[in-house]
């Protein structure tokens, strides 16, 4: 019995030690569980903060990229519009120059026609005068002197050139390229 009591007391000590050890393990498990829960909550909070920060940073970056792209597009539109205006101005200048050249050529052609016409008139007048003088009889002229005086005045008038001087005037409207206008001035 004594041996049984000893074994019983030894078993109760072991049992008490095991219960104490189980209690300490339970405390340790509870401590670690609470610590893990705190770390998990902290990690969730940190993850939410990181997510919020990342979203705001990405939104900010996207806004900067959008505004940069809009600014670039605006500058490109302005530059393109300016280039188009310059090209249109050059086209208008070339068109005005071509129109001026065509007008000058038209006026020169018209002037050449007028000169040719007046030269033709002069040639016809001198031919008709030559025909009249060569066909006139050389006989008695006392009565015909009055008519020959008329012929002389006709010859004098025919000798005068029918062409009149041509004066050129260059007019330049303000803000434009010089345009040449030919004005035929008769005296």
- What are the tens digits of pLDDT across the range 103-130? 999 999 988 888 887 776 666 666 665 6
In a domain, residue 135? The reply is no
Residue 99 forms part of a structural domain: yes
Instruction: Please measure the distance between the N-terminal and C-terminal CA atoms of the chain and give it in whole angstroms.
Output: 168
Q: What is the pLDDT of residue 42?
A: 95
Say yes or no to pLDDT of 1 above 90. Answer: no
Helix, coil or strand: residue 179:
strand
| E strand segments, 62-116 | none
* CA–CA gap between residue 133 and residue 151 (Å, rounded): 9
Whether 73 maps to a domain, the answer reads yes
Q: Give the three-state DSSP class for 169.
A: strand
Distance CA 17, CA 12 (A): 8
Residue 113 pLDDT: 84
- DSSP, collapsed to helix, strand or coil, labels residue 181 as strand
Q: Does the pLDDT of residue 182 top 70, yes or no? A: no
Per-residue pLDDT, averaged over 144-153, amounts to 47
Q: Where are the alpha helices (DSSP H) in the chain?
A: 2-135, 145-159
Amino acid 131: pLDDT:
53
- Nearest Cα neighbor of 136 from 125, 151, 123, 156 is 151
> Domain span at residue 152?
2-130+145-183
pTM of the predicted model as reported, rounded to 2 decimal places: 0.37
The answer to whether position 137 is within a domain reads no
| Residue 50: other Cβ atoms inside 10 A | 10
* pLDDT average, residue stretch 64-79: 94
Quickly state the pLDDT bin for 161 (edges 50, 70, 90): very low
- The two beta strands, 179-183 and 167-171, are antiparallel
- The pLDDT assigned to 6 comes to 83
Domains of the chain: total: 1
């Amino acid at each position: 019995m004594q041996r049984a009591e000893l074994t019983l007391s030894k078993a109760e000590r072991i049992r008490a030690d095991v219960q104490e050890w189980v209690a300490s393990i339970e405390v340790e498990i509870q401590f670690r569980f609470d610590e893990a829960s705190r770390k998990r909550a902290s990690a969730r909070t940190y993850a939410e903060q990181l997510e919020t920060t990342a979203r705001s940073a990405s939104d900010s970056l996207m806004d900067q990229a959008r505004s940069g792209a809009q600014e670039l597009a605006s500058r490109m539109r302005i530059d393109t519009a300016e280039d188009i205006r310059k090209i249109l101005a050059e086209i208008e200048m070339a068109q005005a120059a071509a129109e001026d050249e065509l007008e000058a050529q038209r006026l020169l052609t018209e002037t050449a026609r007028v000169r040719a016409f007046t030269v033709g008139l002069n040639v016809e007048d001198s031919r008709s005068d030559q025909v009249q003088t060569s066909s006139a009889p050389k006989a008695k002229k006392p009565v015909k002197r009055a008519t020959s005086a008329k012929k002389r005045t006709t010859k004098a008038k025919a000798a005068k050139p029918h062409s009149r001087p041509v004066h050129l005037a260059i007019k330049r409207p303000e803000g434009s390229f010089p345009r040449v206008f030919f004005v035929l001035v008769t005296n």
